[in-house]
Amino acid sequence: MTDKNLRIGVFVCDCGSNIAGTVDTEAVREYAAGLPGVVAAVRNKYTCADPGQVQIQLSIREHNLNRIVVASCSPATYEVIFRNCIAGAGLNPYLLEMANIREHCSWVTPGNGQAATEKAKRIVKVAVARAQWLIPQEEEQISVTDAALVVGGGVAGIQSALDLADSGHQVYLVEKEPSIGGIMAQLDKVYPDIECSI
């Protein structure tokens, strides 16, 4: 994709005081608005809440955005929410880049708003640069069989194979030795009754 086709939207979240208590989120939004390819930069109090997600969807339609950068909290928790959000606006969910300015900025530099804000700007700049290289992805549907492979014909393997078969699965039991039974088959007698093991 060439630069002239990029239409990136950046959404900077206050996260209440979790981010905005340390980071000057308005300064980050203004900075993001001047980055190459960015055609919309919006600041929200809580981007992950319904009003914030509605704002993202409206901006996608209004500005014909084709890449989204959300500067907020950890993608480990919120990436799925924002992927679903942009998919709801008709944009491929993989055209999203997250910039973690809560855990990586505000929470690690308490009391130093200037340093946190400058770091947040750099993180957003990198996220915007990465967003330029995103391409739409399609999830493949792959059919699977409910057959099971059990490796090892010892007591545990045999019991596992029987339990799976009783549950209605086709089972393949594989043993490297010429007979099944594992170590149990090699024993002469077993405790506590001292009976024959076979």
Looking at the structure, tell me whether residues 80 and 163 fall in a common domain. Answer: no
- Note down the domain range covering 171: 148-196
Check whether residue 21 and residue 110 sit in a common domain.
yes
For the chain, which ranges sit under pLDDT 70? 1-4, 186, 188-192, 194-198
At residue 188, the pLDDT reads: 67
At 69, list the tokens. 């950068």
Same-domain status, 74 and 154: no
Same domain, 112 and 51: yes
Do 94 and 168 reside in the same domain of the chain?
A: no
pLDDT score recorded for residue 37: 94
Q: Are residues 159 and 110 in the same domain?
A: no
pLDDT of residue 92: 95
- 140: in domain: no
**182 and 153 Cβ atoms separated by less than 8 Å:** yes
Domain boundary, last residue among 131, 156, 188: 131
| Residue 104: other Cβ atoms inside 10 A | 16
Residue 143 resides in a domain: no
Sign of CA dihedral 40, 77, 132, 119: positive
pTM, whole model, 2 decimals? Answer: 0.71
Co-location of 153 and 124 in the same domain: no
Q: Could you tell me if residue 138 is inside a domain?
A: no
Res 84: pLDDT: 95
Question: Based on the structure, what is the number of domains in the chain?
Answer: 2
d(CA 90, CA 136): 12
pLDDT given for residue 198 in this prediction: 54
CATH code for the domain of 110: 3.40.50
Q: Looking at 131, 157, 188, which one is the last position of a domain?
A: 131
| One-letter identity of residue 102 | R
pLDDT digits over 30-67, tens only?
Answer: 999 999 999 999 999 999 999 999 999 999 999 999 99
Question: Which of 98, 131, 164 lies at the terminal end of a domain, its last residue?
Answer: 131
| DSSP string computed for 157-185 | HHHHHHHHHHTT--EEEE-SSSSS-GGGG
Round to whole Å and give the CA distance between 86 and 19: 23
Statement to judge: residues 110 and 162 lie in one domain = no
